[in-house]
Structure 1
Amino acid sequence: MVKMAPLFGYEIAKKILLDKFCEMCEDVIFHVRKLCASIMGSWCKFMGEKDTEEILLSRFIKLCKDDVWGVRKCCIESFVHVAKICSRELRRSTLTKTYLELLLDSSRWVRLAAYESLGAFISTFARPSSESGFEVRDGSLVRVNADGELGDDTNSLCDEDAIKYNSFEFWRTPLPEIDLLLLEDDNAILSDGNNSNAQRKEQKAVREIDDAKLSSALEERLSVFDDNESNASRFAPIIKDDLLSYHKDSEELVETTPISELAIQQDVIPHELLEHFLRMGEQSAAQTVDLDIARHCAYSFPAVALTLGRKNWNCLRELYKKLGEDQLQQWKVKRTLACSIHELAQIVGTEITITDILPVFNNLYNEMDEIRVGVLKNLSVFLTQLPPNERAKYLPRLGEFLKSNNGAMDSKNWRFREQLAERLIQIIPLFSAVQVDKHIVPIALTLVVDKVCAVRQTALLLLALVLKRLSSDDRLVADLTNSLLNCLALSSSWHLRQSYATLCQRLLEHNSVSSWTFAYLMLPSLVALATDKTVNVRIAVARCMDRCVCSDTYLISTENAQASDLLETIEQLRNDADVDVRSMFT
């Protein structure tokens, strides 16, 4: 029915199909009710907000209270889709109350499904993109302006742009006008805060006195056992330590901020929903709901943070620290955090990233490879959120990705090295030429001689873009090209000599160096490889000649002193004995 409704149109579907669907929602066979619950979201999307609230919502809530747990579980799977159609007021009152009942359902599977979708349901309370400044498009978080149009891409910031970029001016709302009449009230509040600090110190001194009184009282109580002094002396220290530790633990619980108080510090999300979400990171939730409950919490964390906004980050700070520490030692939780930490950094901004997100990032940076790959995949996006001085601290640590978590280079984990080369390509614009030469060039030279072809091919593109970044400094370019000649063009391994020919092609394709620089530094070795004994090397040289060299006006003109030798080499390759070499020329 739900698939036929768009074919009939709104009027006919409402007149003929909707009433029948509502009857089926109350069918005696629970399989029918279960199917109705699973497609309720599609029906609500087709019928629109008005019909959903007037007709379908009451049926849906009744299905959420069905006697069969399978029907209630299917309702949870459709809950977010239904919530998106309803108005904000109904979502905050009726739907929230129903969802809280599902979170406390008698069925373990219903509770688990409700906690899995809790973050998605909370995200429906997010402010419009024009207010939050962010929007999710094609699965990625993008910045939008007040008109809903895409803003500037911060991922393309270089060092000079980052210096010009003022986070205080662009990332925050304008400061309000200061009312001098309110300063007296603020001073009064500060004085009250000082008084509260003095009261806490006084309470701490009182508790220390209570500990001493408790200890003396225990000794008096235990001295009553005169008839069995040996047992009294044996058990007295144990009872005393247990009671004192219980007394101190209760004090610590009082001093920490309860989750219920954190939930009421904001007005974006219903307090009860946020309270349940904050408890997902506790160890008790893993024992009562499911062991993977913390992973679901980590997965939904960026969406909840985006919903609350930066001003309510205090509500989530402690939970994020718990997830980063991961008391249950579940590596899946940390991997989930690693894969989304760049999105969270964009949401909370630079200051919060430095204070709260960066310590978690540093811990994930040193974890096992399954976790570090999540950090590596979005490393460039995360570094963009850091100021240049903080960003530069991670340059010397990039070489750590060449080795596995046990400290040795794993030849089998070639995809990890390929991922490293791809990320280095993205972070080149974030650093100066000197920084790139000092920290990224050694890694690129290591990757370009890798045993795996896919790693070498990505490293060749990396080197081409590195040379483009260094093109403003002739000395750096000359040093790097000399290193490439030694490790590639003059290598005894044919696949490295082939890589040199491919590198020359990449340099010309991306205009990494000028034609004069290429003719002076790279062309002589490329011409020499045209007579290589290995056919695959000559094929790579012929491909470079046909696609790039022949189309470069300077290289084949008389201005180039090597033009005559170059033209002879091209003609020699056209008439090569191997048919594959000749086929490279169109």
Structure 2
Amino acid sequence: MITHYNMEFSARADIMLNLPEGSALDNDDLNGPGSISFPRKTGDLSTDFALFKITQYVISTSISDRIKFTRNLPELLQQLGKSSKEFAFNLFRKVIEDQPEVRTEFALQLPHLANVFIKEMDSYPDVVQQILPCLDKMLSDSNPEVVKAACEAAIELTPIVQKDEREGVILTLVLRLTHDEEEENKLKGIAALKDIIPFIASDICEHFVVPEIASLATDPIVKIRKLIAYCVPKAAKQVSDPVYLEKLLNIYIALSHDAIWGVRKCCVEGFSTMIQAYNEETQIKTLQPRFLELMKDKSNSVKQAALLQLGEIIANSKAPLPETILDQFTALSQNSASKGEFQHHCAFYLPGVLQIMGPEAWVTLCHPYFQLCSEGENIAKKSIAASIHEVAKIIGPENASNDLVTVFQGMFLETNPAKNVALENLSNFLKYIKEESRPVFLQYIKKGSKNAGIWRTRYAIAKQLEDLVDLYPISVVLGDIWPVIVELCKDKIAKIRDTASLGLGKAGALILTTGNNTEIIQEIKTFAIDPTYTTRLVFAQSSLHLIDIPDFQNLFGEELSAIVNDPVVNVRIACSLVVKKGLKKNPANEYWIGLNTKLSHDFDADVRSNITGKYEDNRGVAILRPAPKLPPTLTPPILRPIMADNDIEEIISFNCTGVGLEFEVLKDTIRPDWSGFVEDIRIQTATIQELLIES
């Protein structure tokens, strides 16, 4: 079935790439790819610039320029749109016959081009009829770099295309490459096969991939056997027929006895995947004994590879494991060889091992855990700091508070290389310890928020403020965390202010929900009336949480109404998100309806789109903003931001009924918007705060 499909596919590729006379790109044609279907100029600046780039490619003699152009092909097609498809195909034919360096770059862009056709143009058939034939052509290329790039493209295209093309085209092309006469091409084909096996259906894998693996497993070339050793576990996970599972198991065992240590090492590295494909009986009788033998292999590289598989094997095993494997895993905590690689492996997989074995195993695993915390290499300590909350979650609040609080405190010492990782993980850890054990960590929150030298430390605290507010009682939030929040909301780094503003809203809502606090209310209001727009922006963003207060309209309604008219668009954009959420919570409330109506007619398209859900790409004259000293001439859109809103009434008044001289004046003075031209305009209403224009 697949072979027949490939014959048809290759024939289609040959037809596509053998161009009829007069339809290819002409080197002397300065208008672009051919004179038949390529537009000279559209009037749209973005499109015309893309066409200009293509023109430059056609006449360029520089390989580096043509490589840059090929790299930008997906972006150019997006700019040109659906109408570009036909001459884009002509362009592909030109590029695919270019120099090897250009063809290599084109091969790497095939997955991105496929995404453009599917997502931007909704044209999957073009992927089948145009992109895949190009892949076919380049997998057969004489240049090894082009073939290598095409193999990478085949791997990336596999999850993009549909099942029929995945199994009928890409798999066929890759299997064809595994039989190439050139050894290098054969290796590239097997390497690609290894990565696409997880996307192949069980029946196809059984009938086409397994026989291929069986034939190549005895190949005299060592590199091929090494790659096949990686393929076997992945194929075993895909197949379901016991016959093929048995065949793959025999191949794997044979390769694990290979005379070359590199092949045995590859088998060891795939062991954790292999055990996932087989039942408990097979693991105990066949796989586990063979792994124990490999742990005693005469090659030091094989033994080390086996040690680095222990954590994943314990986590993925379906069968009870011998005590030897667990003992070897815990012993890794004291093995500082290979620059701490063994300790890092133990630290990384210890939470997973603990989860599989259960909380009762903490008695056994706590000793290697403490060993890693105190004497482990830096990379192991950082791994411990990043996952300590998972261990706390498994062993429960009682054990976590007794055993881990002191350990975690030690990570905040200045000399500890894991202190930054621990700080980022602070709120996660606090969730799984007793409430009475949490206050001791407030000192690290305060200290981190005042670290003027390292902004990332302050940012790490700002990101956790919303969680920290929920982890402490109101009295602690008010006395210890609130000052930290206010300080971070005034930080000089915008990213910190934006993040901390959500904590301000969360803490303010929590405090004011339990009872009015005049000082807190006034402190929040000072953000809304501050002359600096960045501070007003903090209030707008914090309102996303403040609107959860039942009495929000009475407490902060006036301040929000004021900044809805803020001259800075960033503030109004933040307000639009608040208003949208507020209206969703209270759809019949006149306050929210009024703010929603006001922002839905805002001068800025981003503000309107947040309210309406639609971005007006082609909206005619977007804004009428007159120049204050030159009535009644209206300024071009580029000058709008410097004009004041209240100038409109001073310059010109609109008459809904009159269409005589007033209309002519308007028609003469209106400038076209960047996104299109407007010929007929009918003015409905015009006020200081909103302007509705229909074309």
Report TM bin, short chain: 0.5 to 0.7
Q: What is the CA–CA distance in structure 2 between the aligned matches of 1:12 and 1:528, rounded to whole Å? A: 65
1:334 aligns with 381
Judge which range, 94-103 or 271-280, deviates more.
94-103
Give me the whole-angstrom Cα distance separating, in 2, the residues matched to 1:543 and 1:585. Answer: 18
Within-5 A mapping of 1:123-522:
123-125=315-317, 268-282=320-334, 285-287=335-337, 290-327=339-376, 330-366=377-413, 371-403=418-450, 408-411=451-454, 413-414=455-456, 416-476=457-517, 478-486=518-526, 488-489=527-528, 491=530, 493-504=532-543, 506-507=544-545, 511-514=547-550, 516-519=551-554, 521-522=555-556
The answer to whether the Cα contact below 8 Å between 2:202 and 2:240 also exists between their aligned partners in 1 is: no
CA–CA distance in structure 2, aligned partners of residues 14 and 544 of structure 1: 53
Answer yes or no: is the 8 Å Cα contact 1:126–1:306 preserved in 2: no
Q: Distance in 1 between matches of 2:483 and 2:200?
A: 65
Q: Which amino acid aligns with 2:322?
A: P
Q: Distance in 1 between matches of 2:538 and 2:406?
A: 40
The range that moved more, 431-440 or 15-24, is 15-24
Cα separation, 2, equivalents of 1:8 and 1:309:
35
TM-fit CA distance, 1:5? 8.0
SS at match of 2:258: coil
Q: Distance in 2 between matches of 1:373 and 1:6?
A: 37
Q: 1:294 to 1:541 in 2, by over 3 A?
A: closer
How much does 1:320 deviate? 0.6
353 and 5 in structure 1: CA distance in 2 versus 1, 3 angstrom threshold: closer
What is the distance in 1 between the residues matched to 2:331 and 2:199? 45
Taking the aligned partners of 1:584 and 1:378, their CA distance within structure 2 comes to 47
Structure-1 separation of matches of 2:564 and 2:302: 69
Does residue 92 of structure 1 match 2:284? Answer: yes
State whether residues 96 and 273 of structure 1, in contact with CA within 8 Å, keep that contact through their aligned partners in structure 2: no
Instruction: Provide the secondary structure at the position in 1 that maps to 2:297.
Output: coil
- Relative distance call for 1:315 and 1:53 in structure 2 (3 A) is farther
Q: Give the superposition deviation at 1:104.
A: 3.4
Q: CA deviation at 1:490?
A: 5.2
Residue 481 of structure 1 aligns with an amino acid whose one-letter code is I
Q: Deviations over 1:93-120 (max 9, x none)?
A: 4323322333333444333322222100
The CA distance in 1 between the partners of 2:570 and 2:229, in whole Å, is: 63
* Residue identity matched to 2:366: R
Structure 1 residue matching 2:491: 3-state secondary structure: coil
State the Cα distance separating 1:326 from its structure 2 match.
Answer: 2.1
Question: Contact 2:213/2:231 (CA < 8 Å) preserved in 1?
Answer: no
Give how far 1:336 is off. 0.4
- Tell me: higher relative CO, structure 1 or 2? Use CA pairs within 8 A at least 6 residues apart: 1
3-state DSSP of counterpart to 1:365? coil
| Structure 2 portions without partners, runs of 5+ | 1-174, 176-192, 604-623, 627-638, 646-688
| Mapping of residues 540-555 of structure 1, within 5 Å | 543=576, 547=580
> Partners in 2 of 1:576 and 1:547 — Cα distance?
27
Cα distance in 1 for residues equivalent to 2:691 and 2:307 = 62
CA drift of 1:352 comes to 2.4
Q: CA RMSD in A?
A: 4.0
Equivalenced residues, count: 421
Letter in 2 for 1:68: I
The worse-fitting range, judged by mean Cα deviation, of 440-449 and 539-548 is 539-548
For 2:215 and 2:394, how far apart are their aligned partners in 1? Answer: 45
Contact in 1 for aligned 2:332/2:346 (Cα 8 Å): yes
SS of 2:383's equivalent? helix
Structure 2 residue matching 1:26: 3-state secondary structure: coil
Give, in whole Å, the separation in 1 of the partners of 2:513 and 2:248: 66
TM-superposed deviation, 1:273:
0.9
Q: 542-551 vs 304-313, which deviates more?
A: 542-551
What is the aligned counterpart of 1:120 among 312, 333, 348?
312
| Separation of aligned partners in 1, 2:373 and 2:198 | 46
Per-residue deviation, residues 324-377 of structure 1 (Å, max 9, x unmatched)? 1025xx321111001111111122222322232222222123356962343344
- C-alpha contact (below 8 Å) 2:210/2:244 kept by paired residues: no
Amino acid at match of 1:512: D
Contact 1:126-1:307 within 8 A present in 2 as well: no
CA distance in 2, matches of 1:572, 1:20: 65
Q: Give the aligned partner of residue 225 of structure 1.
A: none
Q: Is the 8 A contact 2:512 2:549 kept in 1?
A: yes
Tell me the distance in 1 between the aligned counterparts of 2:383 and 2:405.
16
SS of the counterpart of 1:280? helix
Counterparts in 2 of 1:538 and 1:126: CA distance versus 1, 3 Å? closer
In the alignment, the residues of structure 2 paired with residue 387 and residue 5 of structure 1 have an alpha-carbon distance, to the nearest angstrom, of: 47
Structure 1 residues 66 and 470: alpha-carbon distance in aligned structure 2, compared to 1, 3 A threshold: same
Aligned mates of 2:290, 2:506 — CA distance in 1 = 56
Structure 1 residues 472 and 493, CA gap change in structure 2 (3 angstroms): closer
Asked if 1 retains the 8 angstrom alpha-carbon contact of 2:218 and 2:225, the reply is: yes
How many angstroms apart in 2 are the aligned matches of 1:334 and 1:463?
A: 33
Give deviations 1:1-46, integer Å, cap 9, x for gaps. 6689899975676566545533432222212211110111122112
CA contact (8 A) 2:393 2:432 kept: yes
Q: 1:507 to 1:286 in 2, by over 3 A?
A: closer
Contact 1:471 1:512 in 2 (8 A): no
Instruction: Determine the C-alpha separation between the residues in 1 that align with 2:416 and 2:295.
Output: 35
One-letter amino acid matched to 1:38:
Y
Who is 2:161 aligned against?
none
Mapped contact 1:69–1:110 kept (Cα < 8 A)? yes
| Structure 2 partner of 1:223 | none
Distance 2:198 2:413 in 1: 53
8 Å Cα contact 2:389-2:428 kept in structure 1: yes
Instruction: Tell me the amino acid that sits aligned with residue 309 of structure 1.
Output: G
Q: Distance in 1 between matches of 2:321 and 2:571?
A: 66
Q: Distance in 2 between matches of 1:472 and 1:7?
A: 52
Structure 1 segment 67-78 matched on structure 2, within 5 A = 67-78=259-270
CA distance in 2, matches of 1:35, 1:350: 47
